[in-house]
Structure 1
Amino acid sequence: MPTPRRLTTGLAALSLLATGAPVAASAESSAAAAAPSSQAGLPTTAFPLGPRAAAKQTSKAVAPGVDLFTLTHGSATDGYTVSVLMNGKDVGKRADAEAAAAACEAAGFPATIQEVIRPAVADYPEGAGYMVRLGSWSLKDRKEADKVVKQLKEVDIPAKADFLGDDGMQTTGPWQLRVLTVNPGVFRGSYHSSLGVSVAKREKTSAMAKHAKALAAVNGGFFNIHTAKELRGEPVGISVVDGTLLSEAVPGRSALILKNRTARITELSTTVTAVSADGERTVVNGVNRAAGADELILYTEQFGAKTPADDGTDAVLDATGQVLEVRPAGGAVKAGTRVLHGTGTMADWISSHTPEQWKLTVTTKVKDLRSGKSVPLTPQTSIIGGGVGLVRNGREHVTAQADGHANVNMILRRHPRTLAGVTKSGTLILAVVDGRKPGVTVGASMIEAARLMLWLGARQAINLDGGGSTAMIVNNKLVNHPSDGVERPVGDSLLIVP
């Protein structure tokens, strides 16, 4: 459960704002939540976050079997403090916190050292860190905290004004959510993923929804912000659109598999193999991403950029696998073609085993790591890679380490969230939790997100990209309030198509 604030011995004992009821839901309230449907609506039991009371909710029918709910809950009681940064971060080791607190004291700013307990999740143990904080101010007095930050900066102490509702500890909220439920027994459309105009380019969820004439959509998985600027739409992890693998899996990470009106969540791996006409076989290391040293990367016509202009070699293939051209790297991937790009030793492999007019067979396989079975890539199949698994077989099961998010910021602190879940009866639940709006809506931690999806009736649930990416589109309208103030272009989206 979210951790209460624990103050350890510091240079001064200041009273930080720490009001609010415990966040955790009781086992009874989670178990009582019925799977939502277009007839039953959402649970009316106590909301699982904040004060023990029912959330206010309104509903709207979007289409037969598709319903949109707006939920609000809680009230604003958190205010601001000032957090000192240690090596650029607000949580550090005890020794770093003691040194930072001493520096504040020497400069005439009494400080408190606060222990932060990052709770254990399914694949990562509990851990402790330390924060150095100064003062407390009400929500309307943010400017007073900013003044202290400025004064600290003048004596070379980096700090920031910190809203206490973001901590992931006790809070009264408030929360604002939009929840979309799709009952496959009534809805007659289908589910799809979209990467927009290309893999490389980011695009707004609303634009992808409009192009597909979707009833509704939410943003998809994380995209790579640590690659070249022109490639930052590339998904981090698996992406399959209409049966075509467009990005390889990070083995063991959670994903959402969509087919017609079915959705399921599992962990996946991918294998891509190239076999030359002379029988030489090799592993293809990646799909539609930047190439590393001695790698073989497959670029599809959906890539939307040129292959890397490095010292590598390209083999251009037609739809049947015939080698049309062997060329220096850095060319376009034309419609109806694929390109195998090799660097280092793999450039030599292309030169040796893919002369023009030869056939090269490229196979892609996706494996469900829960069942051990292959996932058929039919034209009706789409897959979206998630950020973190949240619920497995009806129990809280947060896989932060496997999904690359094992840290205080991602596990404990509250952020806007986009969540997807599936009930026992097959109903798809899409939820967006707005956040980063002090006094309006605080977002959710990963653990809170898992409990929210359990309350909504999910037996399996996954965290998609969040933060400023969180967006829900219904009938071509943005229905939530992104934390950036405007809708952000993203890598991919989940579409509900009539």
Structure 2
Amino acid sequence: MAEAVEAAGFTPSILKIVQPAAADAPAVERYMVRIGLWSFGQRAKADKTVKELKEQGIRAKTDYLGDDGAETTGPWDMRVLMVDPRRFRGSYRTSVGKSVAKRETTSSMSKLNGAIAGVNGGFFNIHTAKALQGDPVGVSVVGGRLLSEAVPGRSALVITEGRRARITELETVVTAVSSDGTKTQVKGINRAAGPEELVLYTEEFGGKTAADGGIEAVIDSQGMVVKLRQAGGIVARGTSVLHGTGLMAVWLQEHAVGTGMKVDTKVIDMRTRRAVPLTPTTYAMGGGVGLVRNGRVRITAAADGHASVNMMLRRHPRTMVGVSKSGGLILATVDGRNPGVSVGASMVEEAHLMRWLGAKQAINLDGGGSSVMVVGHKAVNRPSDGAERTVGDGLFITP
């Protein structure tokens, strides 16, 4: 790359960068080719150079040094909210807003839940149809109802009995059992179905299922299959829908005609191998990466699918949640992408921040333009998009 840049008439420099080691991934040496150095007020000159490079067929972008993860003195602008479990008498809860399928702002979900404060939740699926992008990537339990399946082994926040919070790794097991005793695995919940998949849609879905040529069994609240239909319909209140494609569509036609159908859902704590009780006071939210475990920095980037320079080393706006030794909840946001005001944080920096704040366990939530903390239903930080982004779910503190 440096040779190509030099041949185009520019003077390159080669910078070695090290992607930090995670608990489950080694450090990786990488290299970056750089051209020129301008003050932030001279960005137009940097942009002009990038344009000239692209005209020569060289991929390039303008970059801000404060974002690259090298040592810095900041500045940082962050918000921290801590709950004292000895004095707090309210509760914690997660929310997907008015429906699973559609995205909403965190402040809108805050109003819906009558919350005191809250933050955006985990990652959501931007690689699906626009009408389905509110679907959380990872586990979601709201009021004891499983609304999105877990990514096995990914870190998650679990809330039980209103305000007992812990962080662990979860897996979900969902099984459809017909009245003739035949069983089969349900691969997904409230998301688009892949080939040869059985997916469950709950009444919280809030959208039309995909008309993908599959077959659907509509199940009433008593567990009876009230009809089979071609895929592509609403999920009415008091019902759920099993959506099958390929061989799973054939399975529905053979085992879900005029019969009962039970859908058994389990959420398993992978640390204890015990089932999480799905009661009306149970909530769970998937995180992006584990940051702190048993009071020590332990970044599980590979297990959580984020062992990359961009996610681990580069600075971005971040949202974090932690649990203190006494069981208190710690919420934090670090603003970023705002040179001279706040540079954001790397995953290593946010892990050390949460440990310094007293978190015994902590995880990273969705960041970037999604990062927001709301108090009194209003954002108290500066979202990097310039306004609140619509997201898949949120975590809230209620009276």
Is the shorter-chain TM-score for this pair beyond 0.5, marking a shared fold?
A: yes
User: Is residue 336 of structure 1 aligned with residue 219 of structure 2?
Assistant: no
Q: 1:360 aligns with which of 248, 261, 283?
A: 261
Q: C-alpha displacement at 1:320, in angstroms?
A: 1.6
State the one-letter code of the partner of 1:420.
V
Q: How far did 1:131 drift?
A: 0.8
Secondary structure of 2:369's match?
A: helix
State the one-letter code of the partner of 2:263. V
Residue 188 (structure 2) pairs with residue 286 (structure 1)? yes
Amino acid at match of 1:277: S
Which is worse superposed, 119-128 or 142-151? 142-151
Moved over 3 A (4+): none
Give the Cα separation in 1 of the matches to 2:4 and 2:24.
37
Aligned to 2:393: 492
Q: Which has the higher contact order (CA 8 A, sep 6+)?
A: 2
In the alignment, structure 1 residue 325 sits paired with structure 2 residue 200: no
Partner-residue secondary structure (3-state), 1:180: strand
Q: Secondary structure of the residue that 2:36 maps to in structure 1?
A: strand
Aligned counterpart for 2:326 among listed residues 407, 410, 425: 425
1:412 to 289, 295, 313: 313
Indicate the residue corresponding to 1:304 in structure 2: 206
What's 1:235 paired with? 136
Say which of 93, 100, 103 aligns to 1:199: 100
8 A contact 1:429–1:458 mirrored in 2: yes
Cα offset for 1:155? 2.6
The one-letter code of the counterpart of 1:144 is K
The match for 1:180 is 81
2:164 corresponds to 1:262: yes
CA-to-aligned-CA distance 1:340-387 (integer Å, 9 cap, x gap): 01111111111111112x111111000000111110010001100000
Partner amino acid, structure 2, of 1:312:
G
Secondary structure of 1:143's partner?
Answer: helix
Instruction: Letter of the 2:193 partner, please give it.
Output: A
Equivalent residue for 1:434, pick from 335, 341, 347: 335
SS where residue 175 of structure 1 aligns? Answer: coil
| 1:12-161 matches, cutoff 5 A | 100-161=1-62
The residue that corresponds to 2:301 in the other structure is 400
Structure number with greater Rg is 1
Counterpart-to-counterpart distance in 1, 2:175 and 2:390: 32
Q: How far apart, CA to CA, are the structure 1 residues paired with 2:149 and 2:4?
A: 48
| 2:369 paired residue number | 468
Query: What is the CA-CA distance between 1:213 and the residue it aligns to?
Result: 1.2
Which TM-score applies when normalising by structure 1? Answer: 0.79
Distance between the aligned counterparts of 2:48 and 2:149, measured in 1? 48
Are the counterparts in 2 of residues 365 and 374 from structure 1 also a CA contact under 8 Å? Answer: yes
Cα drift, residue 258 of structure 1: 1.4
Identify the match of residue 314 of structure 1 among 197, 200, 216: 216
CA distance in 1 between partners of 2:89 and 2:64 (Å): 45
Q: How far does residue 140 in structure 1 lie from its aligned partner after superposition?
A: 2.4
2:355 corresponding residue in structure 1 = 454
Partner Cα distance (1:150, 1:246) in 2 = 46
Give the TM-score taking structure 2 as reference length: 0.98
Aligned to 1:32: none
Query: Equivalents in 1 of 2:44, 2:296: separation in Å?
Result: 43
Residues 184, 262 of structure 1: 8 Å contact kept: no
* SS of corresponding position for 1:327: strand
| Secondary structure of residue in 2 paired with 1:161 | coil
Query: Which residue identity does 2:111 align to in structure 1?
Result: K
Counterpart code for 2:120: N
Q: Partners of 1:169 and 1:190 in 2: how far apart? A: 40
**Aligned-residue RMSD, C-alpha:** 0.9
Within the candidate set 374, 381, 385, 2:282 is matched to 381
